[in-house]
Amino acid sequence: MISKAKTVGFQSGERNIFFHILTACNLSCRHCYINKAQHGTETLPRETMEKWLELFADPTKKSNVIFLGGEPTMHPDLVHGITKAKELGYDVTVDSNGYLFHDLLEKSSPEQLDYLSFSLDGPDAEVNDPIRGEGVYEICTGNMRKAVAAGYNVSVIYTVSNLNIKHLHRMIPLLTEIGVKRFFIQVIGLRGNSATENEDGLNWQVSQEDWLSVVPAVAVQAAEAGIHVTFPKVFLEEGETFECAGVVAENFFIFPNGRVYRCPLCEDHPVHALNIENGKLVPNQGLTEDNFFQLNIAEGCVMNKLLQPDTIAYDADGKPEHRISCCLLKQEIIPESI
């Protein structure tokens, strides 16, 4: 019997480095969050990649680095970066759209990568490809199978929106058949492309009712199929304490132009807490995200209230009907067999 999801509290002594080594990508996903005006257009040189990995390495803490883009496998020195990260003691994940450029599977090894993560937003081409691009489903699932056969730990990220939430349950047989070990269910954020006006007029954001009626149940089903499932908390339950990762955790979202954010909700705006300047981590001047993290409001996450207030409903007395958790607070279900 699978128990219900467990909330994973922020871990003291652990740091997560979300390392965007470039912003270029071969796809144009409808919900892409990269904002080149804010994040830059550079592809980091090999030497800079090394120095920045060294800058955030801390041998006294469990450190995870997630190589991101754009599409990180488009970087010709990604494997060099992976090797360097392992030398520095990081647990290493690569988040890919599935195209796996520069022969990643052949030039790296399962021993170097703790997880190779694929972004897939539908259980078939009819659902996935209108979101991510024509032909993407076939290429992505084909390379997932190759990665599993080569011995890599494969995970999948599914970004839930009103475009695909009703198909979430159909991912379970696909992931089971391919041999995927971890399933990350994400909620679409109102940033990047999804923060702009949609030509079809569709509201991509999922309501509280739809999220709670679909996602936790599918997570249990996936765990019963032997898959380790992680998904965002999103809504706090009655009596739960709000915690902001920007205050109690170490998460760094690094972009090629040297900006370092502590909260992903802020990434469309020049309010980043830190800059990398001359190889050093320097606090940004002026009003930054760090100033907002300290605020305690009835709605929970202050950045959600400031940047996407339409996601919060209020009762007749003007009180929020639910509190929004920190977007980095996760729930997980680990199968008993793991």
Q: What is the pLDDT of residue 2?
A: 58
In a domain, 23, yes or no: yes
Tell me the CB-side half-sphere exposure of residue 23, using CA atoms within 13 A: 18
Q: Whole-angstrom Cα distance, residue 140 to residue 125?
A: 10
Tell me the CB-side half-sphere exposure of residue 21, using CA atoms within 13 A: 28
Number of domains in the chain: 1
* Average pLDDT rounded to a whole number, residues 290-306: 93
In a domain, 113, yes or no: yes
Q: What is the pLDDT of residues 97-155, one digit of tens each?
A: 999 999 999 999 999 999 999 999 999 999 999 999 999 999 999 999 999 999 999 99
Q: What is the DSSP string of 247-259?
A: HHSEEEEE-TTSE
In a domain, 298, yes or no: no
Q: What is the pLDDT of residue 3?
A: 57
Radius of gyration of the chain, Cα coordinates, nearest whole angstrom: 19
Could you tell me the pLDDT band of residue 169, with boundaries at 50, 70 and 90?
Answer: very high
- Alpha helical stretches, state H, the chain: 36-39, 46-56, 78-87, 104-107, 125-132, 136-149, 171-178, 208-224, 245-248, 289-293, 302-307
In a domain, 307, yes or no: no
Domain span at residue 133?
Answer: 6-241+325-333
In a domain, 273, yes or no: no
In a domain, 108, yes or no: yes
Q: What is the pLDDT of residues 223-274, one digit of tens each?
A: 999 999 999 998 998 889 999 999 999 999 999 999 999 999 999 999 999 9
In a domain, 305, yes or no: no
In a domain, 317, yes or no: no
State the CATH number of the domain containing residue 145. 3.20.20.70
Rounded to two decimals, the pTM is 0.94
